[in-house]
Structure 1
Amino acid sequence: MSMTSQDTEARGKISYTFDEFIAKRESLDWYRDEPFLQMAVERFTDSEFEKIHKRILSFSPMVSSNWNHLAAQSARPEIRPHMLHYDAFNHRIDRVVRPMETLQLEKGVFGEGLFSSQMTAWESFVKRMLIHQLGEAGVTCPLTCTHGLIALIEEFPDEVHPELHDILMHTKEGANGEFAIGAQFMSEIQGGSDLPANLLEAVPDGKNYRLYGNKFFCSVAHADYSVVTAKITGSNKVSTFIVPSWLPGEKEKEKRNGYQINRIKWKMGTAEVPTGEFQYNGALAYPIGPKDKGIAVAVGIVLTLSRLEIGIACAGFMLRASREANLYSEFRSVFGRKIKDYPLAASKLKQIENAAQRTTAGAFKIYDLFLRLEKPLNPGLKSDHPLETRKQLFNLRELILLQKIGATKEGVEVLREAISVFAGHGVMEEFSTLPRIFRDVVVNEQWEGPRNLLLTQIYRDISRVADWYPPSDFVSNVLEGASQEMIQTFSEQLEDLLQRQVLGEVSEVSMEAAAEWDAFCNSLFKAYQEVALSEIK
């Protein structure tokens, strides 16, 4: 019997389709369909809940659909940011070229006025947690840096430099419907996170300064304004400056303010945000904050907010990973059973969900403390506050550091596990956003101080305040609500570690102590998250 043309056409055709899964994923609303996030919002916003809830319900569909589509499109490698150094007439312009999708997304995100006086802190917080679920997407790093720049100018009002007020209004409230973007340029080739090693020189020029030298790692290269650290001529101490990318009337001409962008860095993650290498050749800079306390200004204000934001971002990353892994496990059948019906897979899904909810609960609780202490920035370890307030400020300082290292480390683990639920499809970047978010969280682990640096800082902090804040009191306050047995165990471990050679010379003994310190900080913060989770559920 011969084959018909119809039989030939049918042979080898793929009948399997992912359409059901895709339709469900695309119909998800990242707030409406996330009951735990709604519970957390209700728990922490009290009388504001109904108003904020309605506004987030209105806002969320835009993030979940249109902005998500723009973020996915802008991640295509062939359209990543690049430099156009010269125009057609050989003028040096250093234009950062970014895709249309990123520009549209940026306009929408910044157009929300997330830091304006018209938006409450909690509404902004929840909206940002949703936006972070896009991944970095070329917008969340700029958003975070802009927040830091705004806080810095508000912390140090300056009548001598009216330009700073104009910059504040441009970034916070917008001008003619456009919100300016901020950046922070601190790292240099010889120092990285070691800001005291900065060599960029600030030369006095009347009431202003001119910058000369190189900044080696400058994210948000397309920003309108940047926070820059440098040493004033003749000084060995770092100062902080605000530097406009263009002087008035020059942006349209693409004439930059006395600096060049040598190149755009090739990064493993956060690839949609351009990170450049800058050469300053006399850029006009406005000083801000005490001239001999630039490191305290930069770290205490700008980096504190960035570290706080990274915790919010990790919560968003994990919520999305959990949601999409669960959805796929309910759709996909292998060897005759749904993925979710295999105990090993079900166990992983439960772990991912728990991590997402713990991280979200912890982020809410730390931000609540931040707000209750009236958004303290740069408090240092010494202050004139009453003792109990000083302890609360210290708790916040250490919790922000613990969250930064704890949430990013677990974020990497959670994203990897979520990707594994998708098996081979999990690494296909047109199939899932999770690989891109995985790379972003790996980079977030390095931003604003890598793990070892912050572990060292926490150890030194706790040691330095022991005379007025005993380690056992610190543990009991941070873990308030946990069992007495748990509090006692952590207290004993901390007191023991403070007597060990965690920061001593390298030896088998000191390396063992250092490893135990790392594990202790990780466990302590997870215990804090568990307490926060129990207060919501």
Structure 2
Amino acid sequence: MNLASQETKTRGENTYSFEEFLAKRENLDWYLDEPFLQKVMKKFTGHHHYEELHEKLRCFSPTVSIKWNKLAEKIARPEARPYMLHYDAFNHRIDRIVRPMEVHQLESEVFGEGLFSSKMPAWESLVKRMLIHQIGEAGVTCPLTCTHGLIALLDQYPNEEYPELRDILMHTKEGVNGEFAIGAQFMSEIQGGSDLPANVLEAVPDGKYYRLFGNKFFCSAAHADYSVVTAKIAGTDKVSTFIVPSWLPGDKEKEKRNGYEINRIKWKLGTAELPTAEIQYKGALAYPIGPKDKGIAVAVGIVLTLSRLEIGIACAGFMLRASREANLYGDFRTVFGKKINDYPLAASKLKRIENAAQRTTAAAFKIYDLFLKLEKPLNPGINADQPIEIRKRLFNLRELILLQKICATNEGAEILREAISVFAGHGVMEEFSALPRIFRDVVVNEQWEGPRNLLLTQIFRDLQRVAEWYPPADFVESVLEGASPETIRLFSEKLKELLQSPVLGEVSKESMEAAVEWDAFCDSFFKTFQKVALTEIG
């Protein structure tokens, strides 16, 4: 080779490589390489249980960190998104939701863990779910959450009149012949997503069963085997709750749906791997569950409460991953002769991301700990017939779940965006990092199960309703136990003042200013709770 040809070959050649970063990232163990998560787990499970749980998670973590993460990346590609096949070759209406092979594999393996089985300890299930959430939606995490809600509903309201419900509980909770069924919740209608009293879907009695007629407009996990559906019994104005099988016995193999049609799959910002559909009920067989005149309390108090609780757990997982990968890249990438994390602006951003991830994780564990320690924490109602101290703790849990849902999702979007910016241009490249996909999932989670304004309103009304037996100052002192006396005093005074302000009044300059203050107060109050939780970890 002569000199000229050598120059042509090497001129302009760039030997820069990401191999060092990729090798480290691809070999990360999301549990073993997350010492803070282990520290929090040890705090809440105790030394004896921690050793046993640690070993189980050490064995589990590589599966989610490597195998399931790679499957999630394939599932997330645009060409792999679910689509509808309404008819077969013989003009039979089948409404098949076509999903990629990888999602079926992932779904089978994730649900096969039996995360809600009676054999699975609660803390083991929690940490496994927090790890699973770190792959993003992947078509499985929303169905997991919905299945949890359906199982809790069936556990809370056993009914021997409907043996089908017992079979559904076994199929979803313990599995049948190694197969675990999937649950969903279909409550939203076009006239109002969170406004369940506005439901018009009609449930018509048919012997001891019911037939559903009408439309549900936002139905996530539309591929599920069973769904929790809210509807009004014909001739009444009360919303009731029903369990609806997607197929009657023997019909799944024939692809003959249970008296309903899937109109279309939604095109949405995030959780794109998850089929969210519009469903038209044309006489679907439904089993009533819970008190027939308390469907809203049943649906919100059990199903939505668990979903909101899970969103907080998911946000902790999202932020832990964002922090881990942003720190890894900050320590790898060199810009203008220095590593990214050697610049004060970048180092401070990385520290903020890490702090938010740890605060959110510590608070999620602390709230879940309260949830586990309370007997029957779901659907007790504010005025439940309980001793006053239990009522106060139940109320604390209720409000903390609402606060966590709105604050963790809001900050989660901020933190994911910050983490993406550490990667600069590479941060928005979908094949370079999972963070853009997870960012969109956080934004969707912020809207699901009650958007911010709705839950801010609910918290305000709740605190007003209980003020006679649970004064604002007592509530603040109880929730922020461990904070400084001055911090508790300031929050108590501000809360008392805000509850007298026109936050929920007619629109005016004064009411809008009060509403802005209320929003800021809730955010600051919950972050203070998180800081206390983090301090308790040590």
TM-score by length of 1: 0.99
SS at match of 1:6: helix
Aligned-pair CA distance for 1:13: 2.4
Partner of 2:31: 31
CA–CA distance in 2 between the matches of 1:522 and 1:16?
44
Aligned-pair CA distance for 1:12: 2.5
Aligned-pair CA distance for 1:3: 4.2
- Superimposed CA distance per residue, residues 297-334 of structure 1 (whole angstroms, 9 cap, x where no aligned partner): 00000000000000000000000000000000000000
Aligned-pair CA distance for 1:29: 0.2
Partner of 1:6: 6
CA–CA distance in 1 between the matches of 2:44 and 2:186?
34
Gaps of 5+ in 1: none
Partner of 1:301: 302
Aligned-pair CA distance for 1:375: 4.6
SS at match of 2:447: coil
Letter in 2 for 1:235: T
Matched, 1:99 2:74: no
SS at match of 1:4: helix
Partner of 2:432: 431
Partner of 1:126: 127
Partner of 1:152: 153
Partner of 2:448: 447
CA–CA distance in 2 between the matches of 1:2 and 1:387?
91
CA–CA distance in 2 between the matches of 1:392 and 1:6?
77
Partner of 1:114: 115
CA–CA distance in 1 between the matches of 2:182 and 2:225?
5
Partner of 1:402: 403
Mapping for residues 60-209 of structure 1, pairs under 5 Å: 60-209=61-210
Mapping for residues 227-376 of structure 1, pairs under 5 Å: 227-376=228-377
Mapping for residues 450-461 of structure 1, pairs under 5 Å: 450-461=451-462
Gaps of 5+ in 2: none
Letter in 2 for 1:510: S
CA–CA distance in 2 between the matches of 1:4 and 1:251?
70
Partner of 1:387: 388
CA–CA distance in 2 between the matches of 1:314 and 1:374?
26
Partner of 1:213: 214
SS at match of 1:212: strand
CA–CA distance in 2 between the matches of 1:40 and 1:375?
25
CA–CA distance in 2 between the matches of 1:168 and 1:6?
72
- Superimposed CA distance per residue, residues 31-79 of structure 1 (whole angstroms, 9 cap, x where no aligned partner): 0000000000000001311111110111001000000000011000011
- Superimposed CA distance per residue, residues 159-198 of structure 1 (whole angstroms, 9 cap, x where no aligned partner): 0000000000000000111100000000000111100000
Is contact 2:117–2:174 with CA below 8 Å preserved after alignment? yes
CA–CA distance in 1 between the matches of 2:93 and 2:175?
29
Letter in 2 for 1:127: K
CA–CA distance in 2 between the matches of 1:323 and 1:375?
36
Aligned-pair CA distance for 1:461: 0.1
Is contact 2:243–2:287 with CA below 8 Å preserved after alignment? yes
SS at match of 2:395: helix
The root-mean-square deviation of aligned C-alpha atoms, in Å, is 0.9
Aligned-pair CA distance for 1:10: 1.9
Aligned-pair CA distance for 1:7: 2.7
Letter in 2 for 1:453: L
SS at match of 1:444: helix
Count of matched residue positions in the alignment of Structure 1 and Structure 2: 537
CA–CA distance in 2 between the matches of 1:184 and 1:110?
17
TM-score by length of 2: 0.99
- Superimposed CA distance per residue, residues 141-172 of structure 1 (whole angstroms, 9 cap, x where no aligned partner): 00000000000000000000000000000000
SS at match of 1:160: coil
Aligned-pair CA distance for 1:135: 0.7
Matched, 1:20 2:20: yes
Aligned-pair CA distance for 1:2: 7.1
CA–CA distance in 1 between the matches of 2:487 and 2:461?
23
- Superimposed CA distance per residue, residues 111-159 of structure 1 (whole angstroms, 9 cap, x where no aligned partner): 0000001100000000000000011111000000000000000000000
Aligned-pair CA distance for 1:9: 2.0
SS at match of 2:359: helix
Is contact 2:74–2:80 with CA below 8 Å preserved after alignment? no
- Superimposed CA distance per residue, residues 442-467 of structure 1 (whole angstroms, 9 cap, x where no aligned partner): 00000100000000000000000000
Aligned-pair CA distance for 1:374: 2.9
CA–CA distance in 2 between the matches of 1:128 and 1:103?
18
Letter in 2 for 1:18: F
Letter in 1 for 2:316: A
Partner of 2:415: 414
CA–CA distance in 2 between the matches of 1:170 and 1:29?
32
Letter in 1 for 2:260: Y
Partner of 2:476: 475
- Superimposed CA distance per residue, residues 478-531 of structure 1 (whole angstroms, 9 cap, x where no aligned partner): 000000000000000000001100000000000000000000000000000000
CA–CA distance in 2 between the matches of 1:436 and 1:91?
36
Percent identity, aligned pairs only, is: 78
